[in-house]
Every structure is written in structure tokens, then in C-alpha cells.
Homo-oligomer: A and B are copies of this chain.
């Protein structure tokens, strides 16, 4: 349990994130000041709970992507900092609610907010952060940006509801799964990249290209996440391996193993994933079946494929450091180990 399967291990090292980190370093300092501002609310519990999560070493990928997209589009205003902060607020709100819905105990190696402050506070502080995100976006005053991000907020919630409805259902198809991760994860990556063109008033073709880049990057990111839940290293992941299995969550490794398996194996998946009747050794058996049917490799293969689409989506932009930094991020997302 918890063993790392080497999918091109090494290539996914933090080096492929470095060009992006360097590109947006100054702006990210400004963003960190906004998202860690103790004065976000006078209600003490709000900054306390929000910062527990925000300050827990998340990668801040989404605001970084928004900043890089703004730079790629030659944006010269000052609104990008607040837009990127709002995106991180939206993401944090989603995580707070996800942890309540999934009854998660650990995130990024720390106890989840709901374990420390309860589900009630996590729900309400998530609501506050979503409101705060929109307040920040209204301040920036770009209706196209507001349109993209309000749409993302609704779509993300739709994806979470779809995921909830598919839970424990072993007949979920790969298409159903794609619709779920497209909404719950790819929508915000997509929106983060798209706002770069929208705030810079760039032509529709560039906005569509960034939207496609973000969407496919988000799909790749979530596919890897779902593979890591069965193959990652608990310590570097900062959460327990097999969480999805224990929650009966339907992800691609399960869908493929179920479809590629024997009738007897399907009974195993039904007992564990559908009925939640878990015994010692079930997780190890699930991982063994996934290896036997190359379900994790296939999941990673899909991730690489979406990554390639994301890469090509940026082709219409001139070769500039921003473009290559954004393309390097794809390798990071596909090859990361946590």
C-alpha cells in the first residue's frame, strides 16, 4: 500500500513548474498578501479557518495560470492580481465544501478545517469566500471576466452534484466520468486561463485557445489525481491513499478495471465500491487488479493525451517565455507525484 508506480518518474519533477513560478513570482507575492490578509473579515473565525487551508502549502496553480495567461495576452492593467486572488478564493471555497461532502480528515498533510472547526463552520466560511471572490471581481469591473467565473462557479457545483449522484455506481461510463471532471475540475482551470484573454480584450480565437488549454490541462490534472489516489505516496500526497476507494468514488482506474475485469472481479467492485462492504486487504486487491488490467497506466495515458491537446491549443500564440512556461506546466501536471 502507498507504493509509487513509476510513470516516467523524474520528468514530472518540480523543475517543470519553475518557469511558471519565476514568471509570476512578483505578482504571486501581491496575491498572497490579498488571500492571507487577516482583515478579509472582522469575524475572527473566518480568516482563522480560511488561512488554515490557504496557508497549508497548496500549489496555487490556478491563480498562477491566470497570471501567466494575462501576461501571454500582454495585459497591462492592474486587475489581474485581484482576478487571480478571486480564483484562489473560489478554489478554497470548493475545497472547504468538498471536504465536508467527502468527510475528509486530511488535506495537504494537515487535518481538514472541518475536523478542527466542524462541518458547519466549513460550509459557512466556504460561502463567505465565494461571496468574497465575487466582491473582488466586481471591484475589477470586467463583465466578461465576471461572466466566465460566475459560469465556472455554477458548473463546478454541477460537477460535484454529478459526482455525488454517480457515487457507488459501478456502471458509470468513462463518458460520465469525463463530464464530471470536466465540470468539477477542468471548468476552473479553463476559466483561469480564459480570463487572461478576456481581461486583455484579445480576439475570440485567443480566448478560445486559452479556454481549451485550461480545460485539457484540468482534465489531465484530475486524471493524474485519480491515479495517484491508488498509486501515490501517502507522505508526499499529504492525504491517505485509497480515500476514493473507501468513499466509493467512481474514478477512471475503477471504471477501467471494472470494464476490463472478469465477472468475479466485477462482484468485488460491486461489494467494495457499490455496497461499501470493505474488508482488510481490499485496497491492496483493488490496486493489484488495476495493475493487472493496466488501469492506472491507461489513466495516465489519457492524462498525457489531454496534456498534448493543451499543448497544441497554445500553438496560435507567438513563442514567448509565457507560452513555454504554460506548456511546461502540462508536464508538471501529468508527471507529478503529489
Contact = CB atoms under 8 A, between A and B. Distances in A.
Interface stretch (A125-133, A224-232, A260-268): A125-133
A164 interface: yes
A96 to B, nearest CB: 10
Given A123-B123, A154-B128, A134 B146 contact: yes
Contacts of A80: none
A156 B41 CA distance: 12
Residue from A120, A121, A124 whose CB has the most chain B CB atoms within 10 Å: A124
A153 interface: yes
A153 B138 contact: no
Contacts of A100: 119-120, 123
A246 interface: no
A128 B150 contact: no
Given A135-B150, A141-B143, A151-B135, A164 B124 contact: yes
A256 interface: no
A113 interface: no
Contacts of A146: 134, 138, 146
A158 B43 contact: yes
A106 interface: no
A153 B130 contact: yes
A234 B19 CA distance: 64
Interface in A83-128: 97, 100-101, 119-121, 123-128
A44 B158 CA distance: 10
Give the number of times this chain occurs in the complex, counting copies. 2
Contacts of A125: 157, 161
A131 B156 contact: yes
A94 to B, nearest CB: 8
Nearest to A118: B164
A124 B130 CA distance: 13
Residue from A43, A121, A147, A151 whose CB has the most chain B CB atoms within 10 Å: A43
A46 interface: yes
A128 B157 contact: yes
Nearest to A134: B150
A131 B150 contact: yes
A126 B100 CA distance: 14
A45 B160 CA distance: 11
B161 A121 contact: yes
A276 to B, nearest CB: 15
A162 interface: yes
A128 B101 CA distance: 14
Interface in A33-69: 41-46
Nearest to A136: B150
Smallest CB-CB A-B distances: 7 pairs: A131-B154, A131-B153, A128-B157, A134-B150, A127-B157, A101-B120, A135-B150
Given A121-B161, A121-B164, A134-B150, 4 more contacts: A43-B161, A43-B162, A123-B123, A131-B157
